Amino acid sequence: MLQAEMPFGSWRESELETFAKIAKGRLTLPQSFSIETVDLITKLLEVDEASRLGSQGPDSIKSHSWFKGLDWKQIADGTFPVPDEVISRIDSYVENRAEDTVTPILSPSKDLADLNTAERLDDW
């Protein structure tokens, strides 16, 4: 989600190779990621369940340094402010998608005779 790429590579290239990487815990992360980001991702994807971040409960994840300064109470009660960058990306996406998705909505005829015509059934 941070890089819009899968950490184990694309399953479309080689599904078995991707599964092997997952099972062995071999992942590739961009060098641009911060130390906290790499630490969080690798700990969340730990192969050994008992050692995986979160295996001791949600507080072990919430207290990770990547989430430093995040107000979990505000998130829970819905008062956490949405970052401006997120709002602008959503606005841009909606604006661009609105042009592509305009589809007229046609209501079917209320007259049963119209619904049973051959022309009407041809579309099925």
Domain ranges of the chain: 15-90
DSSP 3-state of 32? coil
| CATH architecture of the domain with residue range 15-90 | Orthogonal Bundle (1.10)
Per-residue pLDDT, 26: 77
Q: What is the pLDDT of residues 108-121, one digit of tens each?
A: 656 666 656 655 55
Per-residue pLDDT, 7: 66
Least Cα distance to 29 among 45, 51, 14 occurs for 45
Q: Is the full-model pTM beyond 0.95?
A: no
Distance CA 52, CA 60 (A): 10
DSSP 82: P
At a CB cut-off of 8 Å and minimum separation 6, what does 68 contact?
36
Token pair 């790499």 is found at 38
Could you tell me the two tokens for 77? 């009660």
